[in-house]
Chain A
Amino acid sequence: MSVLNAKTLWTWASRALLAVSGVAVILAVSLYLRPRELAALPGEEWVDVAPLDSLLLGEARLVQRDARPFYVVRVDESRLVSVSALCTHLRCTLRWERSEHAWACPCHGDRWNLSGAVIRGPATRPLETHTVSVRAGEVWVHL
């Protein structure tokens, strides 16, 4: 293969084209398949949870919203907190520990404080928090 004639040029050009398109396809498919939280895909929205009066002091209400469950807890007369109900470790559904004022994961014993900061692992990321708003006596959560 010492002489570069038209035939070898054509062979190598077609191999290069094949290689480039192969790499392009692999890149496109990996981009498409990049892991993401399925639940985070649908767009933002305000969700009407319940009338304020129906939430008792210290009660945490679990709201199943498609694949994005979240909690709303009425801490005291003037404070409402909403966090995602999915563990940031392996997405188990959390429990509200009323006496400790903490979120607990039943799968691996993770703990978060009221505002979603990690107290105990294996989870490392804080819980996603949602804005809560009360309008005309209704509790709304911004997802």
Chain B
Amino acid sequence: MSADDDPRPTPARSGLIEWFERRLQLSELFSFLSHFGFVYTPLDTRLPLRELLRQVASRPVSSYLRWPRVLGFATTVLFGVMTVTGVLLACYYQPTPEAAYASTRAIARDVPIGWWVRQVHAWGAWLLLAAVVARLARFFLEGLYRAPREILWWSMVAMGWVVVQLDFTGRLLPWTQSGYWSVTRGLETVAGLPLVGPVLTWIGGGAAVNEVVLLRFHVLHTMVLPGLFMALFFLTFATLRRVGLTTVSHAGGVTTSRDHFFSVVLLFVLVIGVLTTLAVALPLPFLRAADPAVTPKGVTAPWYLIVPALVRDRLPLLWWPMAALFVASTLVVFFLPFLVRGDDRRDALVRPLGLGLGVLWMLLTVAGLYLERGR
């Protein structure tokens, strides 16, 4: 191809960007990277990067960081914080039953700033879970699973699964007595589920917690699940560029990319501030090392598994129907866009039903935590 056929305008300037431009597909690269949380409008990747950036900057964007849309961005920012602190923790953590507790204790006690890294990672897990669940609830209540947002809904439901599994695998890693027994009780419940139980215990390394399961959980927690989460971010932004942001709940509001970027930085500072405040004011406990021979009192399954765990322990007759319902309902949630299919009457039925079931589940969880506390 001669230079005359090249449809792109010749770059007027010859700076560093142009030097790279002649050697790299910078615009494609920018488009890929901005799929992880920065640009949610279509990009013309044939343009040179400078021009592309100018176009993005000049285009008015509907203000993204407004309640309740801030939940999505909070998820991105929290995931970034979790990745950085997680990499720092992985520099000292040793995933064997002999060394897991001592190495975590060393981070929390002996390494400078280690306490902050561990506390922020632990509190960040709660906030990330809360952000993802709240976002899922918001999308459900506003009916944002309907066409053309099916993929948005699926990636969000999948994010919910992944973040719960990140929480579950992360509980075991410090090898504390409470974490060990909480995961043991959770695994008993998961292993008993029809269909998914055998698959999950196969992936997790077995139904009884031992050194194989610890290593497997470590790999899942630090490599597989974060990788999946990143892929879901990409999917979310890839479909957002096609279908656009939601227009249901926000009362307009137009801003520029520059202001948007400023809000992102502000949100980041806010998240770090909240996490540090929590780490200092309400530090999460780090108590005794795991003792597989002694079941402590008052240790429950993780809160998201407490209802199945309770039914399994106390109402064994109801276990099979409830477990089947549990598995079926996750499938129903996933296939919701197909079940409703733009039918307004079904849609009007689905939302109060889902809301009712969600509230019922929460009430049962609270009751379960209360019942299990005394054991």
Residues of chain A whose beta carbon lies under 8 Å from any beta carbon of chain B:
28-29, 31-34, 36, 38, 41-42, 66-67
Known: A33-B91, A38-B92, A42-B106. A67 touches B99 (CB 8 A): yes
Docked pose: A34 CA to B92 CA in angstroms: 11
Docked pose: A66 CA to B94 CA in angstroms: 11
Docked pose: A36 CA to B107 CA in angstroms: 12
Q: Is the CB of A67 within 8 A of B94?
A: yes
Docked pose: A38 CA to B88 CA in angstroms: 14
Docked pose: A36 CA to B110 CA in angstroms: 11
Docked pose: A32 CA to B112 CA in angstroms: 5
A-B pairs under 8 A by CB, number: 33
Contacting residues, chain A, for B299 (C-beta < 8 A)? none
Docked pose: A33 CA to B103 CA in angstroms: 14
Docked pose: A29 CA to B99 CA in angstroms: 23
Contacting residues, chain A, for B113 (C-beta < 8 A)? 28, 31-32
> What would be 8 A-B contacts, judged by CB atoms less than 8 Å apart?
A29-B88, A32-B88, A32-B112, A41-B103, A41-B110, A42-B105, A66-B102, A67-B94
Chain B positions 47-103 with a Cβ under 8 Å from a chain A Cβ:
88, 91-92, 94, 98-99, 102-103
Docked pose: A11 CA to B199 CA in angstroms: 56
Contacting residues, chain B, for A33 (C-beta < 8 A)? 88, 91
Given contacts A33-B88, A42-B105, 15 further A-B contacts (CB under 8 A): A28-B113, A31-B113, A32-B88, A32-B111, A32-B113, A32-B114, A32-B117, A33-B91, A36-B111, A38-B106, A41-B92, A41-B103, A66-B98, A66-B99, A67-B94
Contact with A along B97-131 (1 / 0, CB 8 A): 01100110110001111100100000000000000
Q: Is the CB of B112 within 8 A of A38?
A: no
Residues of chain B whose beta carbon lies under 8 Å from any beta carbon of chain A:
88, 91-92, 94, 98-99, 102-103, 105-106, 110-114, 117
Docked pose: A33 CA to B92 CA in angstroms: 9
Contacting residues, chain B, for A67 (C-beta < 8 A)? 94, 99
Q: Which residue of B lies closest to A42 (CB)?
A: B102
Docked pose: A28 CA to B111 CA in angstroms: 11
B117 → chain A closest CB, angstroms: 7
Docked pose: A28 CA to B84 CA in angstroms: 13
B305 → chain A closest CB, angstroms: 32
Docked pose: A42 CA to B112 CA in angstroms: 14
Contacting residues, chain A, for B92 (C-beta < 8 A)? 38, 41
Q: Is the CB of A31 within 8 A of B112?
A: yes
Q: Is the CB of B106 within 8 A of A41?
A: yes
Q: Is the CB of A41 within 8 A of B102?
A: yes
A49 → chain B closest CB, angstroms: 17
B264 → chain A closest CB, angstroms: 14
Q: Is the CB of B103 within 8 A of A38?
A: yes
A135 → chain B closest CB, angstroms: 25
Q: Which residue of A lies closest to B89 (CB)?
A: A32
Docked pose: A37 CA to B331 CA in angstroms: 49
Contacting residues, chain B, for A41 (C-beta < 8 A)? 92, 102-103, 106, 110-111
A25 → chain B closest CB, angstroms: 10
Contacting residues, chain B, for A38 (C-beta < 8 A)? 92, 94, 103, 106
Contacting residues, chain B, for A66 (C-beta < 8 A)? 98-99, 102
Docked pose: A42 CA to B102 CA in angstroms: 6
Q: Which residue of B lies closest to A67 (CB)?
A: B99
Contacting residues, chain A, for B114 (C-beta < 8 A)? 32
Contacting residues, chain B, for A32 (C-beta < 8 A)? 88, 91, 111-114, 117
